[in-house]
Amino acid sequence: MGKINDNLEILCEYQKNPLGIQNQHPRFSWRLTGEYGDTQQNSYQIQVWNGRKILWNSGEIFTSKNQAVSYQGQELQSRTEYHFSVEIEVQRGEKTFCFKNWGTFETGIFQNDQWKGCWIQPVYDSDAAPLIRRRFFLQQLPKKARLYIVGLGYQEITINGVKVGNARLDPGWTDYRKTILYRVYNIGKYLKIGENVLGVELGKGWYAMTHPFFEKAIGRQPDWNGTLKMLCNLWMDETCICTEEDGEWIATPGPIVENSIYDGEKYDGQLEKTGWNLPGYEPSMGEWSRVRKTEGPGGALISQILPEITEGVRRKPVYAEYIGEDSDYTMLIDFGQNMAGWADIRLEGQVGQKVVIRYGEVKGRDGSLDQRNLRLAKSRDCFILGRDGIQSYHPKFTYHGFRYVQIEMDPGIVIHSIEAVEVRSQVKRVADFKSSDPWLNRLYEMGRRTEESNLHSVPTDCPQRDERLGWVNDMTIRYENSVYNFEMLLFYEKWMRDLTDSQDENGAIPDTAPYFFGSRPGTHITSVFVLLPWLLYRFYGDRQIIEEYYEHLKKYVLFKLSQRTSEGILPENYIGDWAPPMTEAQWGWGENAVPANCPQSLFTTCYLLYDCMIMEKISDTLGKTEDCGLFAQEASMLNTAIQKNFYHPEKGYYGSGTQGCNLFPLFLGIVPQTEKGKVFQNLLYDITVLHQNHITTGNQMTKFLYEVLVKEGEVDQALKMTREKTYPSIGYMVEQGATTIWERWELLTVGHMNSHNHPMHGAFLVWLLKGLGGLEPVPSGKGPELNVHPSIPKELDWVEVKRESLNGEIRIKWEKKKKGVKMEIHVPWNTKVRVRIPEGYLYQGEKEFLLKSGNYEMFLNEQ
Applying CB under 6 A, which residues contact ligand BGC? Answer: 461-462, 467, 471, 473-474, 575, 578, 753, 760
CA distance 565 to 562: 9
**What amino acid is encoded at 847 in this protein?**
K
* Cβ closest to ligand BGC, residue 581 vs residue 652: 581
Q: Check: CB of residue 334 under 8 Å from CB of residue 403.
A: yes
What does each C-alpha distance from 800 to 389, 483, 722 come to in angstroms? Answer: 52, 19, 17
Q: Where are the alpha helices (DSSP H) in 9-90?
A: none
Shortest spacing between CB 579 and ligand BGC, in angstroms: 7
Shortest spacing between CB 219 and ligand BGC, in angstroms: 17
Shortest spacing between CB 92 and ligand BGC, in angstroms: 50
Strand segments (E) across 605-722? 647-648, 653-654
The C-alpha angle with vertex 333 and arms to 330 and 337, in degrees rounded to 5, equals 155
Shortest spacing between CB 474 and ligand BGC, in angstroms: 5
* Cβ closest to ligand BGC, residue 120 vs residue 462: 462
Shortest spacing between CB 521 and ligand BGC, in angstroms: 14
- Positive or negative: CA dihedral 517, 521, 523, 527: positive
* Cβ closest to ligand BGC, residue 47 vs residue 702: 702
CA distance 35 to 860: 28
* Cβ closest to ligand BGC, residue 29 vs residue 526: 526
CA distance 777 to 538: 6
* Cβ closest to ligand BGC, residue 346 vs residue 520: 520
Shortest spacing between CB 465 and ligand BGC, in angstroms: 8
CA distance 386 to 393: 11
Q: Cβ-closest residue to ligand BGC?
A: 461
* Cβ closest to ligand BGC, residue 103 vs residue 762: 762
Shortest spacing between CB 575 and ligand BGC, in angstroms: 6
Ramachandran class of 498: left when φ > 0, alpha when ψ lies in -120 to 50, beta otherwise? alpha
Shortest spacing between CB 456 and ligand BGC, in angstroms: 14
* Cβ closest to ligand BGC, residue 258 vs residue 474: 474
Q: Check: CB of residue 238 under 8 Å from CB of residue 258.
A: no
* Cβ closest to ligand BGC, residue 419 vs residue 591: 591
CB neighbourhood size of 177 (10 A): 16
Q: Check: CB of residue 206 under 8 Å from CB of residue 175.
A: no
Q: Check: CB of residue 550 under 8 Å from CB of residue 618.
A: yes
CB neighbourhood size of 120 (10 A): 26
Shortest spacing between CB 711 and ligand BGC, in angstroms: 26
Direct distance between the N- and C-terminal alpha carbons of the chain, in angstroms, rounded to an integer: 46
* Cβ closest to ligand BGC, residue 73 vs residue 510: 510
**What amino acid is encoded at 278 in this protein?**
L
Strand segments (E) across 385-511? 389-393, 400-409, 414-425, 431-435
CB neighbourhood size of 282 (10 A): 7
Shortest spacing between CB 206 and ligand BGC, in angstroms: 17
CA 498 vs. chain centroid, Å, equals 13
Shortest spacing between CB 513 and ligand BGC, in angstroms: 13
Question: What is the dihedral angle through the alpha carbons of 477, 478, 479, 484, rounded to the nearest 10 degrees?
Answer: 120
* Cβ closest to ligand BGC, residue 663 vs residue 753: 753
* Cβ closest to ligand BGC, residue 164 vs residue 760: 760
